[in-house]
Amino acid sequence: MTTADELRSRTAELLATHDPAGTPPLDFLRARFDAGLAWVHFPPGLGGLGAPRALQAVVDTALAAAGAPDNDPRRIGIGLGMAAPTVLRYGTDEQKLRFLRPLWTGEEVWCQLFSEPGAGSDLAALATRAVREGDAWVVDGQKVWTSSAHLARWAILLARTDPDVPKHQGISYFICDMSDPGVDVRPLRQLTGEAEFNEVFLTGVRIPDAHRLGAVGEGWQIAQTTLNNERVAIGGQRTPREGGLIGLLAGTWRAHPELRTHELHQRLLQGWTDAEVLRLTGERLRQQLALGQPGPEGAAAKLAFARLAQQLTGLEIELLGEEGLGYGEWEMTRPELVNFTGRDAGYRYLRAKGNSIEGGSSEILRNIIAERVLGLPAEPRSDKDVPWKESAR
């Protein structure tokens, strides 16, 4: 098994042959991937060395100290956090070789075509159809709330391939080329004035069968890998002590002593404590993740993150009073990523409202925790054994 010393040696060799000061960033990232130092826990030849996941920090620390470029992980977060683990687990050898390298280097951005206007929280009720025609699937339908669709080259896509079986059984999982004819991406303007989300219309889109992940009809099972990783990516991000939103709130508190009250002070202390509990829980979750695939525990992290984000941004608005009601430019923009730290308190307050919806609504996450973590009885489901085409929609 690869050791920390071996990783340090490999990293030093990479830096010796590809000086970050003189190597174009993309060339350096490609060389890092080929050296197995992209994600060290992935298999050899796919950006890794089969090493323990926890040893990734050894590589990252050495490269950061040397001034090496990173792959802008926030910009390609959907690819890194959702698509890559799914392709690694269920993809063919050809799919892994084709997609993982440009995904990690950031050459190809990914998005997620899961939710629909009539199938958001009840994702298994999705109606987008994929019909087999020879060596391809013809897809028709609509997806919604799609982050980065306006930037993406590829999408992970769920579509119904068999309407004659219960809804969870008739779904298949595909990789969709967002540049193909029939893919129409339209902006969805949000409460913030931005349009980071999109709705996507699929009309006669032809997807090669070679771009299907897993077996036909196993899409729901495969999607659980994606969803579990998504919740960890949203709720389990690594932050330093007093980092993230609590750091911004604490900064506002220190900068405005004239606005402080005893009641706001108590709420700030409670928020700081909750943020620290979430941070330490995230560290524990990542340690569990290093030992295998993420489980439903990610739902708890994401649920807590959403609640805390709304609590902290609301408190900051109350602290600032009239000043907190100000808002910056309202022109619609198409950002590459969400920027909580580079905007004003009003933006953070409005944008945090989406945290309890994206990545699985808080109501659905509570069901997951109740059933899969606490072992409580499942809610009655009248459509469990009913063919999808006969179920109420």
Domain ranges of the chain: 7-70, 223-373
Mean pLDDT across 190-208: 94
Please tell me the total number of residues recorded for the chain in this structure.
393
Residue 169 has pLDDT above 80, yes or no: yes
Predicted local distance difference test score (pLDDT) of residue 393? 72
Residue 14: pLDDT band (50, 70, 90) is very high
- As a whole number, mean pLDDT of residues 90-109 equals 98
- Mean pLDDT for the stretch of residues 125-143: 97
Note the pLDDT of residue 234: 63
Task: Give the integer Cα–Cα distance in Å for 358 and 76.
Answer: 17
Nearest in space to 185 (alpha carbons), one of 207, 202, 208, 205: 202
pLDDT band at 325 (very low <50, low <70, confident <90, very high): confident
CA torsion, ordered 84, 90, 93, 99, to nearest 10 deg: -30
User: How does pLDDT run across 33-82, given as a tens digit for each residue?
Assistant: 999 999 999 999 999 999 998 899 999 999 999 999 999 998 999 999 89
369 pLDDT tier (thresholds 50, 70, 90): confident
pLDDT attached to residue 380: 81
Residue 113 — pLDDT band, cuts 50, 70, 90?
Answer: very high
Give pLDDT, residue 385.
83
Residue pair 306/245 in contact by the 8 Å Cβ criterion:
no
Structure tokens at 60: 């990252």
Q: What is the mean pLDDT of the chain?
A: 90
- Taking only the tens place, the pLDDT of each residue in 255-285 is 989 888 999 999 999 999 999 998 888 777 7
Contacts of 106 (CB under 8 A, 6+ apart): 29, 71, 72, 75, 76
Among 173, 176, 175, which residue's Cα sits nearest to residue 219?
173
Q: For residue range 222-246, what is the model confidence (pLDDT) as tens digits?
A: 998 898 777 666 655 667 788 889 9
pLDDT band at 292 (very low <50, low <70, confident <90, very high): low
Task: Name the active-site residue from 230, 242, 329, 331.
Answer: 230
Helix (H) or strand (E) holding 159: strand 154-160
pLDDT at 25 over 60: yes
Average pLDDT over residues 305-332: 89
Contacts of 390 (CB under 8 A, 6+ apart): none
Q: What is the CATH number of domain 223-373?
A: 1.20.140.10
- 360 backbone dihedrals φ, ψ, rounded to 5°: 105, 120
Q: Which residues pair with 212 in a beta bridge?
A: 174
Residue 97 DSSP class: H
Distance between CA atoms of residues 85 and 82, nearest Å: 6
More confident residue, 340 or 135: 135
Tell me if residue 230 is catalytic. yes
pLDDT band at 119 (very low <50, low <70, confident <90, very high): confident
Taking the alpha carbons at both ends of the chain, their separation in whole angstroms is 52
Question: What is the bridge-based pairing of β-strands 154-160 and 197-208?
Answer: unpaired
Percent of the chain as helix, strand, coil, to the nearest 5: 45, 15, 40
Share of residues in the chain with pLDDT > 90 (%)? 64
Q: Measure the CA dihedral 354/360/366/368, to 10°.
A: -170
- The whole-number pLDDT of residue 241 equals 85
Query: pLDDT value at position 291?
Result: 58
